Structure 1
Amino acid sequence: MSKPALDIQLKTLPESPGVYQYYDADGVIIYVGKAKNLKKRVTSYFTKTHDNGKTRVLVRKITDIKHIVVETERDALLLENNLIKKYKPRYNVLLKDDKSYPWICIKKERFPRVFSTRRVIKDGSEYYGPYTSMKTVKTLLDLIKGLYSLRTCNYKLDPEKIAEGKFKVCLEYHLGNCKGACEGLESQASYHENITAIREILKGNFKESLGQFKVQMKTLAEEMHFEEAQKIKEKIEILENYQAKSTIINPKISNVDVFSIVSDESFGYVNFLQISYGSIIRSHTLEIKKKLDESDKELLELAIIELRERFNSNSKEIYVPFKVDVGGDVKVSVPQLGDKKHILELSIRNAKYYRIERFKQVKITDPDRHVKRIMAQMQKDLRLNEAPTHIECFDNSNIQGTNPVAACVVFKNGKPSKKDYRHFNIKTVVGPDDFASMEEVVYRRYKRLLEENEPLPQLIIIDGGKGQLSSALKSLDALGLRGTIAIIGIAKRLEELFYPNDPIPLYLDKKSETLKIIQQLRNEAHRFGIEHHRNKRSKQALNTELETISGIGEKTIVDLLKVFKSAKRIANAKLDELENVVGVSRAEKVYNHYHKNENY
């Protein structure tokens, strides 16, 4: 469709809630979005200047626009979610999760069985879930089995067949796990009392079951049935123990969904907790692949609709870290303190842990994706124009003004590239002048790279504050590289990051991966520089000591070092050992120098 035709479409869009679909030249849906006002939202794509490159590409590819008007914004949210899952448009976020989740089923029968299943059959049975962990399902079923005697057989227990004696009790009856409904040994009313209590437990409400058991225990004790009373007491302890483990906040907080999000450049991680009577009855984290630099608010709104639909949640209130618009009659709360704030923080912690675990997994299974994510994060954190796949860091080393040296370490894709490390002996600076030394080594490094036509880094890090950064900038100016390579300085005391011509430093989160990589670079440059400085001082001290011996020249020193490897070994050598290397006359001179204070 031509641009004039698109302009006409934009002008005639309704100002109503709805869903819009973008098509490319091949008639393929490439993006689906929802809007409170279709006209304003769709028009903004074509009138705004987009910072994100993918969004600019998307807009260029749009050749046709279709829309669906709905009554409410909530309807738009649901429709958007369904269309994304159906068509999987290229530029929409990906909701990763296709597996079938387990449910707990209370079968529609005269004497209902209670069991786990991954198939939901619409036959009137009750399904609780879905649960995100089979471990949770097994724990609940074990709890129920320990509290109530339920049948496990799949006989069709019609009254007529029971009366005719068609069934016989099995081993479960003799073990005390079933009361023998198949032979009419348990009434339907008694059995359904247990089912009613089980329903409440699956909802997270233990109050009714505990109350009933306590009444039973008291009655049995009064009637002197102490063994039966003890068994009921054990059930109470099992239930109270489970309740204590599962109740994490005020039991008055019930029928609430909690959502939180953490994100990076490529993915969003949305955690969902479902709360019933102060207990977490469901927890799940959804990973969302970003496509168009979506905001946390956009991702969270999409995830809330998806998760509530997926897990069949009808909670009337949700807790979130910031205001979201999910339509309908749902109350949206942003907790500020107390138990509500505590449960939101727990959700955020779950999302962070999930993200860390995914990072560890991806680092092993998909190292390229791991590197790209870190590089994208560094680019964003450091406000760079491109990902810093090649970083070089400089550090000066001198102690009391002696033997000034410098070091340059190189990281590629976030990891040390030791074959590219370089040492520098300061040549043009006299005395301990860090600023002039930094100017010299930066100039020498990049002059050589330019002469040898070697690739330049995307980022230079200077170990030092504004002074060292200014000195390095002089060298880049002299080489015509100012603006070609990004450069920052890091001050040791507060881990401040300084930028050229910006008096206000940047402070990164102390736990951020970007700062950790910068610190690793700085520490590695410092270590590499100190190592070189130490070696240089040792060599100088060694040469000075040997050169003070009268009658011993440079050739003799070299010959001795080739054999003994160090000045300490030369000093401790026996006279005949020295004679074997440099002859009698020179051996005596060396030996006497190191043993002149000894009495013979």
Structure 2
Amino acid sequence: MQQLPLEIQLKTLPSNPGVYQYYDKDDKLLYIGKAKNLKKRVSSYFTKKHDSHRIGVLVKKIRFIKHIIVETETDALLLENNLIKKHQPRFNVMLKDDKTYPWICIKKERFPRVFPTRNLIKDGSEYFGPYTSFKTVNTLLELIKNLYQLRTCSYDLAEEKIQNDKYKVCLEYHLGNCKGPCEGLQEENEYNENIEAIRQIVKGNFKDSLQQFKNLMHTHAENMEFEEAQRIKEKIEVLQKYQAKSTVVNPKISNVDVFSVISDEAYGYVNFLQLSYGSIIRSHTTEIKKKLDETDKELLELAVVELRQRFNSNSKEIYLPFKLSLGEHIKVTVPQLGDKRKILDLSIRNAKYYRQERFKQIKIIDPDRHEKRLMAQMKKDLRLPSEPHHIECFDNSNIQGSNPVAACVVFKNGKPSKKEYRKFNIKTVDGPNDFASMEEVVYRRYKRLKEEGEPLPQLVIVDGGKGQLSSGLKALDDLDLRGKITIIGIAKRLEEIYYPGDSIPLYLDKKSETLKVIQHLRNEAHRFGITFHRQKRSKAALDTELDKIPGIGEKTVIELLKTFRSVKRIQKASIQELAQIVGNSRATKIYNYYLSKKDPT
């Protein structure tokens, strides 16, 4: 069938909820999306001016559009998720997960075994999970083992086989870990009561088991069976300890899923918590690579559907940081206060912690990816026209106008490039004038780079507020560089960031990486400038003393300072001590010079 022009395809789209599919000229599926109104949503791709380069690339490749109409927006969300998993289009976000997660199995058999497994066999057995780690599974199984005596053998315990004495008890029986159902030493009803209690514990409900044990303990005590009562008491303590550790909020909060999302320029991080009777029975965080600058809402919509399917969640209520439409059978709550807000905040902290850990890993494993992400984030945070791969920062240093100097530090891809740091002696300014000094060094720095044909930075930072920024901007104007270099100022007091022509400063999140890079630049410029200023002051101090002595050169001064460490000690040294370092002739000159300066009295 011949493909119609896109204009006609767009005009004939319905206004119903549904899923749309974009294909390229080779009939290759590019992207799958959902919409409340297909016509409105799809048309927006072709009528809007897109800031995202990736969306622009997608739109240029589209040659054909297919769509599927559904009843509701929720149906569209579910269909979109299933089609993405099936076809894996190039431009779609995907929650990749190669793991086979562990489960706890209660085997369908007489005297059921309870054990961990990664394989789900459709034989009527019960499977609880999946769990995100074997550590959680082993902790639960250890708890169950401490509370109940279950068999671990794989014998077929059919009633006739037990009656025919086919099996003999094993070591587990003699160790007290099993009550020997293989020899008919334990009733099936008693065993099954234990299995039901285990079902409740795995679901996070400890109430029934605790009550059962308490009743049993009192019965043993009333019958003067104090050893048995003590043994049951110890089991109660084990169960209560585990319950206290696992319960994080009100036990009335049960059968609830909690989702949160945080994101940066390139990735989203979604945390999923599942609660049962106030306990977290599952926690999982996933990283999602953005393909088309997806919003947090779009990422969370995808993740909620996918993760609930992956972990077989049937919870009827979901806590989210903002409203999503997930269907009439699911209650969506956006908590504001109390225990519900507490658990949502915990989910957000988990997402943030995961993100930090990923950053640390990426810095080691893939530093290029970290740099790309950081540059993209700085571009977004600072509203820059391009990524700031090359940044320079200026700082003035003087004490009451003496020995005025300035420093320029250079960062490449967010890291110091110390070989490119530059020092400046202030030449045209008299007295302590920070504004004029800033104008001079910015002018000199970029006049030289222009003359030598060196690359200019994408971002210039001046240490100071509006005054220093205006001075730096004037220097760029004089060089005809306004608009070619972005210049900003950072004020120390509240870390305000000032832009030319904008009286209202920008305040970045105190924990943001962008602010940390800027602070690092500012601190490096300050350190480098102060060090240069001290060197200059020290040299000036030496020049007024030792360099004034006739016949004493720079090498002699250096040798003396290496030994005596200060000019003051050189003044107090005897002629013999000086002669050991510089010889009799120069020692005499130095000694006589300081002797002549002493007060005759």
Fold-level similarity (TM above 0.5) = yes
Residue identity opposite 2:124 in structure 1: G
What are structure 2's unaligned runs of at least 5 residues?
none
What are structure 1's unaligned runs of at least 5 residues?
none
**What is the aligned partner in structure 1 of residue 546 from structure 2?**
546
Check conservation: 1:2, 1:63, Cα contact below 8 A.
no
Deviation at 1:75, TM superposition (A): 2.4
**What is the aligned partner in structure 2 of residue 311 from structure 1?**
311
Deviation at 1:560, TM superposition (A): 2.4
Structure 2 Cα separation of the partners of residues 160 and 70 of structure 1: 56
Check conservation: 2:335, 2:344, Cα contact below 8 A.
yes
The 3 A distance-change label for structure 1 pair 244 and 581 is closer
Structure 2 Cα separation of the partners of residues 584 and 147 of structure 1: 93
**What is the aligned partner in structure 2 of residue 560 from structure 1?**
556
**What is the aligned partner in structure 2 of residue 440 from structure 1?**
440
Structure 2 Cα separation of the partners of residues 4 and 462 of structure 1: 57
Structure 2 Cα separation of the partners of residues 426 and 588 of structure 1: 39
Secondary structure of 1:538's counterpart equals helix
Deviation at 1:570, TM superposition (A): 4.2
Q: Say if 2:372 is the partner of 1:379.
A: no
Secondary structure of 2:162's counterpart equals helix
Structure 2 Cα separation of the partners of residues 3 and 182 of structure 1: 72
Residue identity opposite 2:236 in structure 1: I
Secondary structure of 1:300's counterpart equals helix
The 3 A distance-change label for structure 1 pair 559 and 104 is closer
Check conservation: 1:559, 1:582, Cα contact below 8 A.
no
Check conservation: 2:218, 2:229, Cα contact below 8 A.
yes
Check conservation: 2:3, 2:64, Cα contact below 8 A.
no
**What is the aligned partner in structure 2 of residue 111 from structure 1?**
111
Deviation at 1:87, TM superposition (A): 2.1
Deviation at 1:577, TM superposition (A): 6.2
Residue identity opposite 2:152 in structure 1: T
Residue identity opposite 1:104 in structure 2: I
Partner deviation per Cα, 1:150-178 (whole Å, 9 max, x = no partner): 11111111112122121111111111211
Query: Number of paired residues?
Result: 596
The 3 A distance-change label for structure 1 pair 298 and 561 is same
Residue identity opposite 2:286 in structure 1: L
Partner deviation per Cα, 1:116-162 (whole Å, 9 max, x = no partner): 00111111111100000111100100111111111111111111212
Correspondences of 1:334-353 after superposition (within 5 Å): 334-353=334-353
Structure 1 Cα separation of the partners of residues 303 and 581 of structure 2: 80
**What is the aligned partner in structure 2 of residue 466 from structure 1?**
466
**What is the aligned partner in structure 2 of residue 481 from structure 1?**
481
Residue identity opposite 2:12 in structure 1: T
Secondary structure of 2:152's counterpart equals coil
Check conservation: 1:556, 1:582, Cα contact below 8 A.
no
**Aligned-residue CA RMSD (Å):** 1.9
Structure 1 Cα separation of the partners of residues 197 and 509 of structure 2: 50
Deviation at 1:543, TM superposition (A): 0.7
**What is the aligned partner in structure 2 of residue 139 from structure 1?**
139
**What is the aligned partner in structure 1 of residue 410 from structure 2?**
410
Structure 2 Cα separation of the partners of residues 78 and 266 of structure 1: 25
Correspondences of 1:513-524 after superposition (within 5 Å): 513-524=513-524
**What is the aligned partner in structure 2 of residue 185 from structure 1?**
185
**What is the aligned partner in structure 2 of residue 73 from structure 1?**
73
Correspondences of 1:230-269 after superposition (within 5 Å): 230-269=230-269
Deviation at 1:104, TM superposition (A): 0.4
Residue identity opposite 2:339 in structure 1: D
The 3 A distance-change label for structure 1 pair 182 and 588 is same
Deviation at 1:562, TM superposition (A): 4.6
The 3 A distance-change label for structure 1 pair 281 and 562 is closer
Check conservation: 1:29, 1:89, Cα contact below 8 A.
yes
Deviation at 1:327, TM superposition (A): 2.2
Check conservation: 1:91, 1:291, Cα contact below 8 A.
yes
**What is the aligned partner in structure 1 of residue 299 from structure 2?**
299
Partner deviation per Cα, 1:510-535 (whole Å, 9 max, x = no partner): 11111111111101101111111111
Q: Say if 2:163 is the partner of 1:163.
A: yes
Deviation at 1:545, TM superposition (A): 1.9
The 3 A distance-change label for structure 1 pair 350 and 586 is closer
The 3 A distance-change label for structure 1 pair 582 and 248 is closer
Check conservation: 1:17, 1:35, Cα contact below 8 A.
yes
Deviation at 1:564, TM superposition (A): 2.2
Check conservation: 2:464, 2:491, Cα contact below 8 A.
yes
Q: TM-score, normalised by structure 1?
A: 0.96
Structure 2 Cα separation of the partners of residues 429 and 24 of structure 1: 64
Check conservation: 2:400, 2:431, Cα contact below 8 A.
no
Structure 1 Cα separation of the partners of residues 508 and 191 of structure 2: 62
Q: Say if 2:8 is the partner of 1:8.
A: yes
Identity across matched positions, percent: 73
Residue identity opposite 1:505 in structure 2: P
**What is the aligned partner in structure 2 of residue 150 from structure 1?**
150
Structure 2 Cα separation of the partners of residues 246 and 583 of structure 1: 81
The 3 A distance-change label for structure 1 pair 156 and 532 is same
Correspondences of 1:279-294 after superposition (within 5 Å): 279-294=279-294
Secondary structure of 2:5's counterpart equals helix
Structure 2 Cα separation of the partners of residues 327 and 30 of structure 1: 27
Check conservation: 2:560, 2:581, Cα contact below 8 A.
no
Check conservation: 2:405, 2:426, Cα contact below 8 A.
yes
The 3 A distance-change label for structure 1 pair 212 and 489 is same
